[in-house]
Amino acid sequence: MTFPDQKHSFDSQAAILLAAMSYQTYPLYSEGRLTLPKGYQLRYIIRAFADVETPTEHAYGFVAESANTIIIAFRGYAAYPADLLAAYDILQIPYPFASDAGKTSRGFTCLYQSARDSLIQKVNKLSSAKKLFITGHNYGGALAALAGLDFALNTKFPRPYVFTYGSPRIGDHAFAQRFNQAVSDSFRIVNIHDPFPTFPSPKYPPPFTEEGVYYQHVKAKLPVSFQLKNTPRNNAIACYFQAVSQLDPAFSRSICTENPGFCPDAEICVPFNRGCKAIEHRSEQR
């Protein structure tokens, strides 16, 4: 696997660590369980309201801190139907945290806004001498992009490192342009067989709205490839973790061995090609 040259160096070990951190947002949501690697402490659980019509509060991630690093991790799709309704709310509103940053998805922007003040207050209490990483998988990647620009412009952390995995688009051309200017270290890791990054569509022309709605990805796309013949598996954070682990297998083995329960199980990442045969077989048995 090769990544294109970047203006700033890409840290493969950070990509592996942050993929596992992104994975940890899911057991935190579903089971209230969080496993962090040695040296990291939980500082805050991010809670937010999804669905502008009937706001519902859920856990959307966490803040963890080590001696040198702060990590903000956002989860993706897990709470039904709140997350789905937020994702499908693709009408756009002005990005609320900068005057010249275009428009962003109403569903995700309102979700992030509901958590934003408390999140920034908590993180601003931590040392600005530490590196700040913001990460997210799936819909969490959209939240990470919203937070990345916000933290770069409005906090004492002007240079956040943003790593996302299978993220959808979040804003229009003006937002992408402002993000790309302000967030110099942004790495959007994308499985070329993953359909989630193709949503929302780049263009919803009138009469969808009077002026149309337009979306553009932020930089910088770093392609990986795994084809598992299944949409959820092609977007699974476990499989993204497995893919980026190939960049530094020794480091990946080390963090997984030293921190039981931290890394995702890659069992679902085995490809299969059964077509409709299983269904046909059961139909014949009736």
pLDDT digits over 98-129, tens only?
A: 989 999 999 999 999 999 999 999 999 999 99
Helix ranges (H only) for 32-138 are 82-88, 106-124
Structure tokens at 208: 């969808």
pTM as predicted? 0.93
The confidence score (pLDDT) of residue 276 equals 66
Tell me the C-alpha distance between 154 and 186, whole Å. Answer: 17
pLDDT higher at 186 or 281: 186
156-209, pLDDT tens digit by residue?
999 999 999 999 999 999 999 999 999 999 999 999 999 999 999 999 999 999
Is the per-residue pLDDT at 279 higher than 50? yes
The confidence score (pLDDT) of residue 3 equals 42
Q: What percent of the chain has pLDDT over 90?
A: 85
Q: Which of 4, 74, 7 is nearest to 224 (CA)?
A: 4
Helix (H, G, I), strand (E, B) or coil at 272: coil
53-91 burial string, b = 16+ CB within 10 Å, else e? Answer: eeeeebbbbbbbbeeebbbbbbbbbbbeebbebbbebbe
Band the pLDDT of 277: cuts 50, 70, 90: low
DSSP label of 216: B
Is the per-residue pLDDT at 57 higher than 50? yes
The confidence score (pLDDT) of residue 60 equals 98
Band the pLDDT of 4: cuts 50, 70, 90: very low
The confidence score (pLDDT) of residue 267 equals 86
256-271, pLDDT tens digit by residue?
999 999 999 988 898 7
Residues 6+ positions from 7 with CB-CB distance below 8 Å: 184
Phi, psi (degrees; rounded to nearest 5) at 42: -70, 130
